Structure 1
């Protein structure tokens, strides 16, 4: 599907859920990703009738462990803080069988997001699937607390609908919840500054543009990562509703430049605070930048209007893994 068609489909079905590239956080790891203007954002085509959203707005994903006849079976519901653990899970169909066939999207069969309830820790990893449908990936989560695991996938089959299922993960150890960073138009990570231009609204698709700079200079050599120049995941504070879409255009389409701007079309499922995690690749390394944004009337008066106002949003403990 070309970028324009993707945006149209997303706006119609979901009113376009968050756009931007994958992630915004502090640390960078070996893996995260993006791809051109996709309609994934909690997947509006959900067959589940109740998500707690305004019927007029796009539904959010990740709030349910079972949806559309598929279930996220998390085999590792507890891990220890600061300790490397193998996270294991499976996707089961309505008959209870483990699913072994998936559509590849953005170079992967399944994307896995792990985030703490206070949104201070974020991981985007790509687990490995065994022949019997069991997925596994190593994780090392730095802080104790309640976490949410999101499995973002599309079952095999031409008529299959993309889904985001969520399950709770407990991380043991001394727990002290972090404060949510204040809304800001800029985020700094590893010598890079990313500026956000645009306003997230719950009723109207809006264009969000992220501009990447290094040492004050525009970055014009962004590298493709999972088929795109950026990838965005957004999580709503409170319930961690999941929104996931992709940027406008894609590498090699003849019109999309490799930076410094990565643009998205987005609509939130309702007025609230959201944490945006943007992943981008430069110099052979994936980095994550994180923003707190407000959607709704409060956003007009609270968020700074000038992307260059110097208000930096301290990076959260974000990361990637493979």
Structure 2
């Protein structure tokens, strides 16, 4: 499946979900949570690509899940364990907080056998997202698969609670636009749920300041643009990460409906600059609060900036104070490759 097709699809369902957590980049993957500092990124494009993504966004969702209410937009993803004959089979269902563990799972086909053939999407056969139900902790991981079809990745989560695991993939011979399946993970320990961060236009991550411009409207495609700066200067040499200059994951507060979104452009397309702006076309599937996790790579490290936005009531509305939400809420764990 080509990037443009998937980008339009994901952009349409994008706002499907966003919810609280902050980011931190490392050799493993993006992470966020309220006990540490943040990190991680998205993709950008020219105006023509953005317009096309927006049109597609208005026509279709991501093919997963369902909408909310009369103003429902595209269908939400990650709400189901099984879809289109494929099932997420979590072998690891419980781990302890603050203890290294291995997360193991398989994707099974209609015949019950593990799937062993996938299409590579943005450099990976499968993208794995782990987020706490209160959206105070977030991880973007890239597990490895053995010949028998079992996936595994090391993980260490700093806070106890209920988590959701999302597998985003394109099985060979399966749905052309791919699937996002979700399952539950219990993390044992002293559970203290965090409150969703307030909407804000600015997030600070490891000395980088990321500014959000744009709003979400239920059922209508809108442009959401992020600008990356450091030490008061725009960053104009972002590095490609997963085939783009930025990577966006969105979770809806409440049910953690998921959407893995990509920017409207890619390195080398002749129109996409390596910063400071990274733009997306996004359509919220419903009114409500969303958490956006923008992953970006600079100086060889992936970092995550997180934002809370509101659809149908203002998205990090004008005049709001910028929040340094990422600053105190990441544990430094995070990206695995």
| TM-score over 0.5 (shorter chain) | yes
Q: Does 1:146 align with 2:162?
A: yes
Does the C-alpha gap of structure 1 residues 252 and 169 become closer, same or farther in structure 2, counting only changes over 3 Å?
same
Give the Cα separation in 2 of the matches to 1:256 and 1:54: 37
Does the C-alpha gap of structure 1 residues 136 and 5 become closer, same or farther in structure 2, counting only changes over 3 Å?
closer
Does the C-alpha gap of structure 1 residues 317 and 114 become closer, same or farther in structure 2, counting only changes over 3 Å?
same
Q: Does 1:295 align with 2:311?
A: yes
Give the Cα separation in 2 of the matches to 1:247 and 1:166: 23
Q: Does 1:274 align with 2:290?
A: yes
Aligned to 2:317: 304
Give the Cα separation in 2 of the matches to 1:69 and 1:184: 40
Shift of 1:16: 4.4
Aligned to 1:317: 330
CA contact (8 A) 1:230 1:246 kept: yes
Give the Cα separation in 2 of the matches to 1:258 and 1:135: 33
SS of corresponding position for 1:320? coil
Q: Does 1:25 align with 2:32?
A: no
Q: Does 1:215 align with 2:228?
A: no
Give the Cα separation in 2 of the matches to 1:24 and 1:174: 19
Give the Cα separation in 1 of the matches to 2:140 and 2:164: 12
- Unmatched runs of 5 consecutive residues or more in structure 2: 31-40, 46-52
SS of corresponding position for 1:15? helix
CA contact (8 A) 1:155 1:161 kept: no
TM alignment of 1:1-322, pairs within 5 A: 9-10=8-9, 15-18=12-15, 25-30=22-27, 31=29, 34=42, 44=61, 46=63, 51-54=66-69, 57-157=73-173, 160-296=176-312, 298-299=313-314, 303-305=316-318, 310-315=322-327, 316-317=329-330, 319-322=334-337
Q: Tell which deviates more after alignment, 311-320 or 144-153.
A: 311-320
Moved over 4 A (4+): 1-7, 32-40
CA-to-partner distance for each residue in 1:35-60, whole Å, 9 max, x for gaps? Answer: 567889xx9353x6x62435851011
CA contact (8 A) 2:97 2:188 kept: yes
Please, what is the CA RMSD of the aligned residues? 2.6
- Unmatched runs of 5 consecutive residues or more in structure 1: none
Query: If the length of structure 2 is used for normalisation, what is the TM-score?
Result: 0.84
Give the Cα separation in 2 of the matches to 1:97 and 1:2: 27
User: Which has the bigger relative contact order, CA under 8 A and spacing at least 6?
Assistant: 2
Aligned length: 308
CA-to-partner distance for each residue in 1:235-259, whole Å, 9 max, x for gaps? Answer: 0111100012101110011110000
Does the C-alpha gap of structure 1 residues 117 and 258 become closer, same or farther in structure 2, counting only changes over 3 Å?
same
CA contact (8 A) 1:24 1:289 kept: no
